[in-house]
C-alpha cells in the first residue's frame, strides 16, 4: 500500500486525499532549488515593499514580514532551517516558515503573485549574479594570458595548420589568440545578462493580477532594467537559461581547445611548456609520470555543459504556453552549467600565469617543417616572380631540403640560386625565424608585439 503524506496546505484545499509519498518526492524540487533561498527572499522583500506602497500591506505587516524573512535567511545560512519535501519547493518552505513565525501577515505576502512569476524572478536574480561571477573569472583569465603573453613576445614557436608546422609565430601571439576567444565569450555573457535583466515579478500565474501592483517599482528595487512586457511570456519561457548555457558551452569549447594544446605541449613529443606541479598529478604505478589533469578535466567537462544545453533546448521545444511542470527540470542543468564553467575558468585563471615555456624546444620544432617557405615565396614575388611560379620554385627548394636534410635557412646562397636566379645576397635575413616574425608586424600579426 502506498504511503501517504500530508497535503501541501498552501494549495491542498481542492484535493480530497493526501499526496502519495512517492509522488511527493517525485514532484518536489526542494532538494535542488533551495540554493535559490537568498534570491527568493530578496524577491519577497521587494514584493512586500511594493504591496505596502500599494496600501495592500500595512507598515506593521511590512516590518513584520521583512524581519521574519531576515530571520529565515539567517536560519538557512546557519543550517538550522528544516526543509520539507511535503512543501515541494523553496517558495512554499519559506512562506510556511514565515507564517509560522509571524502569523497571518505571512499569508498575505503572496498577494498579487504566483509561484510561476516568483520562480522566474528567482532564477533571473540568481543567474545574474552567476554571470557576474563568471565575467570576473573571464577577466582574470584574460589578464593572466596578457601577463604571460607579454613575457613571451619574442619566444618563437611553430604555428600549425592541420597540426603540422606552418609558419613561425611567437608564443605570445598564440596566447593572445586564446585571449581573443575569451573576449568574445565575455561579450556573449554580457549580452545574455542584458537580455535577461527584466523582471517577471507581477506576471502572477500567467495573466497578471487584479491588485494595484507597481511592477516598475519592484523591478527597480531588484536592479532590473524594466519589467517584462507580457505576462504570458514572462512565466513560460526559459530562453535566457538556454542562452546562458549556449554561451557557457562556447566558453568551455574554447577552454577545451586550450586544454588540448596544453596536453600536447606538455607531452614528451612536443615538450614546449612546463605546467606547475600543483595543477598536475602523478601515477600510482609509474613514478616518472606528471599528468596534466586540470586541462584534461576541463576538456572532459565541456561535454557535460554541451549536454546541459541540449537538455534545456529539448525541455522547451514542445511546451505550450504558459507555465508547465516541465520547467522544474530547468534548474539542475542550469545550476550545474554555471558551477562547471565558473570552476573551469577559476582553475585556468589560477594556472595560466604560472606556465613556463621552453624556448629552445619551441625553436627547434619551428625549424623542422620548412616554416619559412612562405617567406621565400613572398621574397620571390617582391622580386617580380608571379606567385604561382614562386610557389613552384619554393616547392622544389623544399624537396631539395628533404633530400639533403637542410632547412631553407641552412642552405647557402648558391644552393638557393639553383632554383631561381633572382635570389640574391640578403635572402637569409628573410628566411631567419626572427625575420619571418618581424616581417609580420602589422596590427594582428605575429610580429606586432615582438
- Where in the sequence numbering do the catalytic residues fall? 162, 283
Is 273:358 a contact under the CB 8 Å cutoff? yes
Contact between 241 and 330 under an 8 Å Cβ cutoff? The reply is: yes
Handedness of CA 79, 108, 200, 214 (dihedral sign): negative
Burial class (CB in 10 A: 0-12, 13-18, 19+), 269: exposed
DSSP 390-445: HHHHHHHHHHHHHHHT--GGGS-HHHHHTT-TT--TTHHHHHSHHHHHHTT-STTS
C-alpha span between 347 and 340 (Å, rounded): 11
* C-alpha cell recorded at residue 98: 514565515
Q: Provide the CB-side half-sphere exposure for 236 (13 A, CA).
A: 15
* DSSP 8-state code for residue 29: -
Residue 301's contacts (CB-CB under 8 Å, 6 or more residues apart) are: 252, 340, 344
Cell of 205: 500565474
Amino acid at each position: 500500500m502506498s504511503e501517504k503524506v500530508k497535503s501541501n496546505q498552501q494549495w491542498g484545499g481542492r484535493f480530497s486525499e493526501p499526496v502519495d509519498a512517492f509522488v511527493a518526492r517525485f514532484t518536489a524540487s526542494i532538494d535542488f532549488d533551495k540554493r535559490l533561498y537568498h534570491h527568493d527572499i530578496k524577491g519577497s522583500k521587494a514584493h512586500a515593499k511594493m504591496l505596502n506602497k500599494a496600501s495592500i500591506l500595512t507598515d506593521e505587516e511590512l516590518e513584520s514580514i521583512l524581519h521574519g524573512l531576515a530571520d529565515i535567511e539567517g536560519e538557512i545560512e546557519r543550517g538550522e532551517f528544516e526543509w520539507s519535501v511535503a512543501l515541494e519547493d523553496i517558495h512554499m518552505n519559506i512562506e510556511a516558515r514565515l507564517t509560522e513565525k509571524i502569523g497571518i501577515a505571512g499569508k498575505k505576502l503572496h498577494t498579487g503573485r504566483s509561484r510561476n512569476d516568483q520562480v522566474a524572478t528567482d532564477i533571473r536574480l540568481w543567474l545574474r549574479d552567476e554571470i557576474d561571477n563568471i565575467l570576473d573569472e573571464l577577466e582574470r583569465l584574460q589578464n593572466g594570458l596578457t601577463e604571460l603573453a607579454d613575457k613571451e613576445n619574442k619566444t618563437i614557436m611553430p604555428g600549425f595548420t592541420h597540426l603540422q608546422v606552418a609558419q613561425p609565430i611567437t608564443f605570445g601571439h598564440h596566447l593572445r589568440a586564446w585571449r581573443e576567444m575569451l573576449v568574445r565569450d565575455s561579450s556573449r555573457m554580457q549580452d545574455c545578462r542584458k537580455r535577461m535583466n527584466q523582471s517577471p515579478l507581477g506576471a502572477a500565474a500567467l495573466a497578471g493580477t487584479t491588485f494595484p501592483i507597481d511592477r516598475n517599482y519592484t523591478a527597480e528595487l531588484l536592479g532590473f532594467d524594466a519589467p517584462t512586457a507580457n505576462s504570458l511570456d514572462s512565466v513560460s519561457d526559459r530562453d535566457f537559461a538556454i542562452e546562458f548555457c549556449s554561451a557557457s558551452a562556447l566558453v568551455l569549447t574554447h577552454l577545451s581547445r586550450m586544454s588540448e594544446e596544453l596536453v600536447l605541449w606538455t607531452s614528451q613529443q612536443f615538450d614546449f611548456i612546463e605546467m606547475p606541479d600543483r595543477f598536475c598529478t602523478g601515477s600510482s604505478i609509474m613514478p616518472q609520470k606528471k599528468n596534466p589533469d586540470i586541462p584534461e578535466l576541463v576538456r572532459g567537462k565541456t561535454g557535460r555543459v554541451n549536454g546541459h544545453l541540449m537538455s534545456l533546448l529539448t525541455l522547451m521545444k514542445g511546451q505550450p504556453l504558459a507555465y508547465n511542470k516541465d520547467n522544474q527540470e530547468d534548474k539542475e542543468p542550469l545550476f550545474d552549467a554555471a558551477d562547471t564553467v565558473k570552476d573551469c575558468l577559476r582553475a585556468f585563471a589560477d594556472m595560466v600565469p604560472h606556465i613556463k615555456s621552453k624556448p629552445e624546444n619551441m625553436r627547434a620544432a619551428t625549424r623542422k617543417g620548412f616554416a619559412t617557405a612562405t617567406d621565400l615565396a613572398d621574397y620571390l614575388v617582391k622580386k617580380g616572380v608571379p606567385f604561382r611560379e614562386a610557389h613552384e620554385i619554393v616547392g622544389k627548394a623544399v624537396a631539395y631540403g628533404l633530400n639533403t636534410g637542410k632547412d631553407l635557412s641552412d642552405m647557402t646562397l648558391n644552393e638557393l640560386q639553383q632554383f631561381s636566379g633572382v635570389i640574391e645576397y640578403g635572402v637569409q635575413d628573410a628566411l631567419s625565424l626572427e625575420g619571418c616574425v618581424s616581417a609580420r608586424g602589422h596590427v594582428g600579426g605575429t610580429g606586432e608585439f615582438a
